[in-house]
Amino acid sequence: MSAVLPPDHPPVPKQKIGVLLLNLGTPDATDYWSVRRYLKEFLSDPRVIETPKWLWWPILNLVILSFRPQKSGHAYAQIWDKEKNESPLRVITREQTESLAERLKGEDIVVEFAMRYGNPSTRSVLEKMQQAGCQRILLVPLYPQYSATTTATANDKAFEALRTMRWQPAVRTAPAYFDDPAYIKALGDSIREGVGKLDFEPDVVITSYHGMPVEYLKRGDPYHCQCYKTTRLVREYLGWDKDRLMVTFQSRFGPTEWLQPYTDKTLEELPGKGIKKVAILAPAFHADCIETLEEIAMGGKDSFMEAGGEKFAYIPCLNASPGSMDHIEAMVRRELGGWL
């Protein structure tokens, strides 16, 4: 005997599988208040800033948020997609989502994306997916290398939203893919293609990863080791000599020691060592964003050329390229095993 729903009960949607791509986030605009809201949420995350709250709160609210939004807003304005009036990160993540949805079309799978900080929020998208009938959802943090500051906090935000749902879907989380053969192939092919298009031969190719405080490494974060493994595997895939591909770390913040060697210092020092032609990429990011387009492609180039460099090239992130989407599709299909 089937259950009879009360007259005012909303219809129960057909059960579907959901895939949610998770990325870091972006302000909604480049003005002071939009950037301030974003930075406040980002820098208030205890996964990102592990300083005790009683010490960090006045520094953040009385000092950093007084001047940082103007500086960051100016940086965002340099790379803003004026046609779509969005940051490149949101534009590219949407492109990845639409491409994946097209590849999975016909399998009754709902593909969405959400941001850990800013919009579309993880909570709003999870609620939308649940209402659409997604009772099995795969969370896919788009961070090749695992870190508590990225992968873990993205999943945290999803779990926080799930905790309040009465009808909670079953959830899986995709692991970091720093050594996934499909990812290594996509990254290696993008480097080979990027270098092949240049009008010069780089003396060295730099893989610049987002940095983190050394203290996080000491507390057990595996990110540092995974970055070096990614570069080693890519170098082996390309068949390059050890000295052709190097590792650096960018985007340090505050007075504490961060993972070294620092990207900015390295770019300033290389010309003095006779290395005056470089290409650089940022394998910790699966989509171009402010840290790649403004900090590296613009600021890094300026620093290198002012120090005596002659040729500088930035190789874009994998973004929504065919190779990138081949990897994401393969990863998602693997992680959906048993659900499809």
Same fold: 16-177+323-335 with 181-314: yes
**Is residue 161 over pLDDT 60?**
yes
Collect all residues with Cβ–Cβ distance below 8 Å to 23 and sequence separation of at least 6: 89, 93, 113, 114, 115, 116, 141, 142, 154, 286, 287
Q: Cα separations (Å) of 287 from 162, 267, 331?
A: 26, 22, 17
pLDDT of residue 200: 98
54-113 pLDDT per residue, tens = 999 999 999 999 999 999 999 999 999 999 999 999 999 999 999 999 999 988 899 999
Work out the average pLDDT over 40-62: 96
pLDDT of residue 3: 54
Q: Kindly report the CA angle at 318 between 315 and 322, in degrees rounded to 5?
A: 120
**Is residue 11 over pLDDT 70?**
no
Structure tokens at 322: 């065919």
Chain mean pLDDT for the chain:
95
Instruction: Just give the CATH number of 16-177+323-335.
Output: 3.40.50.1400
Q: Taking Cα atoms as reference points, which of 258, 256, 260 lies closest to residue 55? A: 256
Rounded CA gap, 324 and 321, in Å? Answer: 5
Contact present, 183 and 145 (Cβ < 8 Å) = no
pLDDT of residue 210: 98
Domain 181-314 has CATH 3.30.1220.10: no
pLDDT class of 7 with cuts at 50, 70, 90: low
Start-to-end C-alpha separation, the chain: 29
- Output b/e per residue, 215-243; b: 16+ Cβ within 10 A: ebbeeebebbebbeebbebbbebbeeeee
Q: CB-based burial of residue 150 (10 Å sphere; 0-12 exposed, 13-18 middle, 19+ buried)? A: buried
165-211 pLDDT per residue, tens = 999 999 999 999 999 999 999 999 999 999 999 999 999 999 999 99
pLDDT of residue 2: 52
Structure tokens at 19: 């895939």
Instruction: Collapse the DSSP code of 92 into the 3-class scheme (helix H, G, I; strand E, B; otherwise coil) and give the result.
Output: helix
Domain positions in the chain are 16-177+323-335, 181-314
pLDDT of residue 254: 83
